[in-house]
Amino acid sequence: MTSKNIPVQDRLILALDVPTIEQARELVELMGDTVNFYKVGLELFMSGDYFAFTDWLCERGNKVFFDLKFFDVPETVRSAVRQLRNRGAGFVTVHGNDAILRAAVEEKGDLKILAVTALTSLDQTDLEDLGFKCNVEELVLSRARRALEIGCDGVISSGLEARRLRDHLDDKFLIITPGIRPVSNTEDDQKRTVGVEEAFSNGADYIVVGRPIRNAEDPRAKAQEIQAQILRFFSSQA
């Protein structure tokens, strides 16, 4: 497991994957002090007033994760990161080859660059369809190792691969794990999933949770339940 000194409350990142800024604000206000860290992605980016919303989050004292998966020619990614680095966000995702990652790292300032390894909605068959001739673990480890060498701060990785990353890479490297679900997940498009305690036991520093909280009968209570799980886990490891 990770040895980093991260506030337990911040280890849960809530994905604000909702259609409108109004819905996102309502969800944040509903969470109150239960959640401090929010992922803001492409769906909200396309809805308008994205940066006014992220500025509002920062003014509230919340931490912000820009999940925009920059993937373009290196100079375009370089310019995009330069534009973003003074917006108050903690993390931003970048997708692509070494040149793209390097361009992002060169402009990051205080922003932490997270390299995308393999989306948690992809399984081995999907990767083979995309032309990859290796297994998922090998692909994730290869991409993570290169990202670390380039100077990225961490990776987005399924909890299924987190243990191997933690075994092979510098412990200072951040692992952010999405796709947190019950052990058996048949309800949505996430395929390579793990539970809360398994993700942290395998080495994740942060978990990203979206639908299990947003779709709960009582989203705030569900977030509190997950925070309690996280606290119990780290208290038991102390």
Residues acting as catalytic residues: 69
CA distance 101 to 95: 7
CA distance 100 to 154: 15
Of 159, 198, 195, 196, the residue nearest 177 (C-alpha): 159
Contact present, 9 and 1 (Cβ < 8 Å): no
Residue 159 to residues 30, 35, 140, 179, Cα–Cα distance (Å): 28, 21, 11, 8
Helix intervals (H) in 32-156: 42-45, 50-59, 74-84, 98-106, 124-129, 136-150
Tokens of residue 180, six digits: 């947190």
